[in-house]
Structure 1
Amino acid sequence: MLALLLLQAAAPSLRAEPSARPGPAAAGAGLLAGHFRLVDPVGRTIDSDMLAGKPYGLFFGFTHCPEICPTTLAQLSTALRGIADPDLRIYFVTLDPERDTPAALASYMQSFDPRIVALGSERAAIDEAVASFGVVAERTALPEGRYTYAHTAAVLVVDENGLIADRVSAEMEPTALAARLAPLARPSEAVR
């Protein structure tokens, strides 16, 4: 635990909407990935235990995010065009299940590469995933009853051993992003 706290303190800040706050996920590579049991927009359960032995990416956000989430998902979509592996998956985990219903997630994700799969669930399951991965997700009240989230703005790359192998900035250019995501792909299909 002390080592984790020291790593966290030494980690660079993460950009978040609307403010940055590093969590354990900010500590970087080599940490054991967390656990989640969530549902995609068509009702399939996706459990991190089911993904054992398979690398994947994970990004926490919400569909009402004004900048970081749509920009990151667009950058990921562009980067994925350079990776041929049809089985590669990046999971977009909503922080806002109250507004991000399965129908809302399905509609939102139509603008992005189909290998980016939205996941949601009840609030308790989302909170468990957030805590398990050590990401930041702080709800902030806005005028007129609206709200937003300050959240970790990085894609976590989880390797086949269940370790966080990389933490990729949301601001990275698509070519550099594709190179950082290539370890998620099967070796013969890493980068076109």
Structure 2
Amino acid sequence: MHGPVSAAWLLVALCGATGTYCLLRLRSGVEEQRRAAGGEALMGFGMAVMAVPATVFTPPRWAWPLYAAVFGAAALWALWTARGGLRHLHHLVGSAAMVYMAVAMAGAPPAAHHAHGGGGVPALTGALLLYFTGYVLLAGALLVPAAGAAGPAGPVSWGDRPELARACRLSMGIGMVAMLLTM
């Protein structure tokens, strides 16, 4: 991805921390937390790797098709699990966006990874930006506690805290918006 180096490092840190927390959620006692955590960890770490500034590391040309294949497989898995509920469709859109960005990076000349283009926003990038911006706004609103809402009755482990899981999803949505803006 191209853009300011300091913003790229912040995105790497945000997505890496999110991926790490999602790995912790894999140990949750709540099955629903474990089920979503693996895909979200993959997304967090994948976004972190993609956001590393090109001045530090430029992946070889063969890495982008591999990246697209990994997230293509994640998109197929999300499509399969979406049969059980619409909540999984967000994972499908996120994985498809990662495939889209990897294909765009594979097709771009190496110099394009370092400079902004001036040709306008492609329709798919614009649609993904609209989707993830809406998702971020909705996820942010859902983090605000309802008036009179009570917290958990007893101690809850780090992997079982739904508000932290929502915060991670929010941060990955923000990261996706940032990455799409740099395309």
Larger Rg: 2
* Structure that is richer in strand per residue: 1
TM over 0.5, yes or no?
A: no
Structure with more helix by fraction: 2
Query: Which range, TM-score by smaller chain?
Result: under 0.3
